[in-house]
Chains A and B, each alone.
Chain A
């Protein structure tokens, strides 16, 4: 197992002395695509901080730059020069973040020629863990992910929900302090999704990794997160940060409590505003 040292340097932003730097900090992060006239701004001036072991959810209308933001945090896209990404307090240069963050994109992206087990250990293999050891670790985790007995199955033999779980397992086995989950339950039917949310919360309670979770489902955002960030329509920036102080562990029935509904009302209004803007944009788009 690779040990990831945190480079401790004087933090960039205003920080009370003596406190640990946030796990992830984005300072004035912008991302523009294209040149001059045809330029689109996907992400504009995003500032956010995520502390260790926090579960932060990100909601926003479609096309607001959520995925672009994720790609930048995963190290796949560099932010524009105006801003910087800090990981454990240290500013990251272009590509430095690659391999430091455990990233799960929207599609499961399983390799059809690999078994469930071998798909799960993909990141470990890349990291350099010997296959035998990696397979043992994955095998031990199969029951926790509800995949016991499916080690030697192939992706095409699994249902959508199971494939997502394999992808999630792959993400979990890649032991990094920060996990990025981009709408992992988006393609699932409502019933499966509820089960997966519940199961994810249990998993997180046990392992306590830092999670940044994108969704377009408000219920999911409030249910899962310690904090909900709402993004504006394009050009995307952080509109608001709402702390969710609902007690943990969270029962599925929490969605019916007045506190939950109150939070939902507030967030719904904000998102509606942004959705309207997105529709307006699409209407006038060339």
Chain B
């Protein structure tokens, strides 16, 4: 019983609950302006008042994020693989990738709408744009860090290049690829939210904009919490997948 209690006391959940209580108490005690720090209860109330819209927005942004992430991940892995095995492709195209990331995607949000219309695809493309690069870089790094001694060993068995790729290169690259995926999913969420600023009707990014324009401060907090929840959900999912599939440590 004692050990269980100790473990419960250490869990992060308790830290959150504790913080929530502290928040409520402070607000009620010091009564700061709600513009600066609204009470947690006020935030909850506001969330409840717009629940249907919030749910729809959550779902929509989630869809954009996941689609953009999926596209970026697949494209990134493919590019990373191609760049590993084709020197001239890496030399010519990879710098282009690097340069693309210095361009603030938000800057041509308007252009993206012109190119892809005010549609789901436009937001997905914004998310994709931020996702493919970290996945490419990490896939490249993962594949290149393949242990040359293990490669020599497989060669001594008479393995051909395909066998070496699937049985050795891919598994040894996976931990690094996961690192890239984790960075990518956070960026994908940012991409969706920002993409929604440029012409959308449903979504958390939209609600953020609306709240800002209408000066609804408490609503801002509601949307922030919703975004945070989505972020936590996505990271958690990825961590779960990682634990199951890629649990070994890379040897370097």
The residues of A with any CB-CB pair to B shorter than 8 Å are 71, 74-76, 98-101, 103, 105, 107, 109, 111-113, 122-123, 125-127, 154, 156, 174
The residues of B with any CB-CB pair to A shorter than 8 Å are 147, 149-150, 152-159, 163, 167-168, 171-172, 174, 248-249, 251
Q: Let me know if B149 and A156 touch, CB within 8 A.
A: no
Closest chain A CB from B231 CB (angstroms)? 29
Cα separation A250 to B27 with both chains bound (whole Å): 84
Sample of 19 A–B contacts (CB below 8 Å): A71-B152, A75-B155, A76-B155, A99-B159, A103-B156, A105-B152, A107-B149, A109-B150, A109-B153, A112-B249, A113-B248, A122-B154, A122-B167, A123-B157, A126-B158, A127-B157, A127-B158, A154-B248, A156-B248
Closest chain B CB from A214 CB (angstroms)? 15
Taking chain A's interface residues, is the majority helix, strand, or loop, or is none over half, making it mixed? loop
Specify which chain B residues have a CB less than 8 angstroms from the CB of A76 in the assembled complex: 152, 155-156
Residue of B nearest to A70 (CB): B156
Specify which chain A residues have a CB less than 8 angstroms from the CB of B159 in the assembled complex: 99, 126
Taking chain B's interface residues, is the majority helix, strand, or loop, or is none over half, making it mixed? helix
Q: Let me know if B251 and A112 touch, CB within 8 A.
A: yes
Q: Let me know if B150 and A98 touch, CB within 8 A.
A: no
Q: Let me know if B153 and A103 touch, CB within 8 A.
A: yes
Closest chain B CB from A144 CB (angstroms)? 21
Q: Let me know if A98 and B156 touch, CB within 8 A.
A: yes
Residue from B168, B174, B248 having most chain A Cβ neighbours under 10 A? B248
**How many cross-chain pairs have Cβ atoms below 8 Å apart between A and B?**
54
Q: Let me know if B149 and A122 touch, CB within 8 A.
A: no
Q: Let me know if B158 and A98 touch, CB within 8 A.
A: yes
Specify which chain A residues have a CB less than 8 angstroms from the CB of B168 in the assembled complex: 111
Residue of B nearest to A110 (CB): B150
Q: Let me know if A126 and B248 touch, CB within 8 A.
A: no
Cα separation A99 to B248 with both chains bound (whole Å): 28
Q: Let me know if A101 and B156 touch, CB within 8 A.
A: yes
Specify which chain B residues have a CB less than 8 angstroms from the CB of A112 in the assembled complex: 248-249, 251
Specify which chain A residues have a CB less than 8 angstroms from the CB of B248 in the assembled complex: 112-113, 154, 156
Residue of B nearest to A73 (CB): B156
Q: Let me know if B156 and A122 touch, CB within 8 A.
A: no
Knowing A71-B152, A109-B149, A111-B150, the reply to whether A174 touches B157 (Cβ < 8 A) is yes
Cα separation A71 to B149 with both chains bound (whole Å): 11
Q: Let me know if B156 and A125 touch, CB within 8 A.
A: no
Residue of A nearest to B247 (CB): A113
Cα separation A130 to B80 with both chains bound (whole Å): 31
Q: Let me know if A125 and B167 touch, CB within 8 A.
A: yes
Q: Let me know if B158 and A105 touch, CB within 8 A.
A: no
Closest chain A CB from B126 CB (angstroms)? 35
Cα separation A5 to B110 with both chains bound (whole Å): 70
Cα separation A156 to B251 with both chains bound (whole Å): 11
Q: Let me know if B156 and A111 touch, CB within 8 A.
A: no
Q: Let me know if B152 and A98 touch, CB within 8 A.
A: no
> Can you name 9 extra interface pairs (CB under 8 A) apart from A99-B157, A112-B249?
A75-B156, A98-B158, A100-B158, A109-B149, A109-B150, A122-B154, A122-B167, A156-B248, A156-B249
Q: Let me know if A111 and B171 touch, CB within 8 A.
A: yes
Cα separation A113 to B175 with both chains bound (whole Å): 11
Cα separation A127 to B159 with both chains bound (whole Å): 8
Cα separation A98 to B249 with both chains bound (whole Å): 30
Cα separation A71 to B148 with both chains bound (whole Å): 13
Closest chain B CB from A79 CB (angstroms)? 16
Q: Let me know if A105 and B149 touch, CB within 8 A.
A: yes
Knowing A111-B171, A113-B171, the reply to whether A126 touches B154 (Cβ < 8 A) is yes
Specify which chain B residues have a CB less than 8 angstroms from the CB of A75 in the assembled complex: 155-156
Closest chain B CB from A220 CB (angstroms)? 23
Q: Let me know if B150 and A126 touch, CB within 8 A.
A: no
From the candidates A107, A122, A154, A156, name the one contacting B157 in the complex (CB within 8 A).
A122
Cα separation A96 to B76 with both chains bound (whole Å): 37
Specify which chain A residues have a CB less than 8 angstroms from the CB of B171 in the assembled complex: 111, 113
Closest chain B CB from A163 CB (angstroms)? 13
Q: Let me know if B156 and A74 touch, CB within 8 A.
A: yes
